[in-house]
Homo-oligomer: A and B are copies of this chain.
């Protein structure tokens, strides 16, 4: 119960520095308006827990199902084709009312006899779902403010500074059979199961991710202008977008500045690189004469690694583990249907909510996206 309220409050705390207008916009399709995140996570508890299990539950507003459902497979008749960023209503105030209403009903439910042990798993899924959206809230708020020509500050002291001062050390692991995947009794997503054996060749993996300064060497040596470091798809991306740097980097009068949640700042060469896509990560590794680790290598090595500040691109495609079973019902749509043409990210980032990171966690994104707090770890 207190965990329910702690997690729910955290979403609202993330939004505290926002002005009403910031809640509304959607600059690109991958970004959702903050008010949508606040409504959608609430809709999850209302739809999957209260409606089926709380007798006589009154939905807050029957039309919200259309507005906050993220799966568009079963839509009704009076639909107007629109995007999330075009919806000025429900207003931010109405959505906070919605949150308060559902939180009160959830409090009653969790203290009632209707709350049964078999609901715990779904409750836990709802809370982890909300934590995932907390991370998206941070990435999306950064995108919204960072693409405004006024470069507004989100929150002073919002960054945990990391000054890297030592060179990368390559850690060596022997070939052999290892075990991978979640084990234990706590919560995990279905994509972390089942735990299974893999055979790995001998490999080396870097003790820490790459810094801005190390990446700048790649840029200065012409990395974005030489096709031989890039996947064919990546090179197309470079040419089509005219990319010359990670996201949020601005070359102003010859100096590199980076938009951060504290506003536009001079580049910090010793800070960890952030906001690169898979193509950039792979090209940097190729330029170094190395490669990205597989997710299995990462998981085998994790407790000797400095990790948790950046989501790290692996060279593993997001595919089911050998004994993967899709859950039944709508919840079964959660992960499995996305298992194609995306790459696995391992680790966690400074935007990940506390208590939401795990060494078996399998995050995943399309190869062209930069807006996550992503970084690079080398392997060979």
Asked whether B86 lies within 8 Å of A26 as measured between CB atoms, the reply is yes
Contact string against B for A residues 213-241, beta-carbon threshold 8 Å, 1 for contact and 0 otherwise:
00000000000000110111111000000
Q: How many identical chains are in the complex?
A: 4
0/1 interface trace, chain A 339-352, chain B, CB 8 Å (1 if under): 11101000000000
B337 touches A231 (CB 8 A): yes
User: What 1/0 flags go to A150-165 for Cβ under 8 Å of B?
Assistant: 1010000000000000
A93 vs B291: C-alpha distance when bound (angstroms): 47
Chain A residues touching B, range: 35 or more
Q: How far is the CA of A41 from the CA of B56 in the complex (A)?
A: 52
Contact B319 A315 (CB under 8 A): yes
Q: Are the C-beta atoms of B150 and A63 separated by less than 8 Å?
A: yes
Contact B338 A88 (CB under 8 A): no
Query: Shortest beta-carbon distance, A181 to chain B, in Å?
Result: 11
Contact A21 B19 (CB under 8 A): no
Show the binding face of A for B, using Cβ within 8 Å. Answer: 19-27, 35, 63, 66-67, 73, 77-80, 82-83, 85-92, 144-145, 147-150, 152, 175, 177, 196-201, 203, 227-228, 230-235, 250, 252, 278, 282, 291, 315-317, 319-320, 322-323, 333, 337-341, 343, 367
Starting from the known contacts A23-B88, A66-B149, A85-B86, 10 additional A-B residue pairs (CB-CB under 8 Å) come to A21-B23, A21-B91, A27-B82, A27-B86, A80-B148, A89-B150, A90-B150, A197-B199, A201-B322, A231-B337
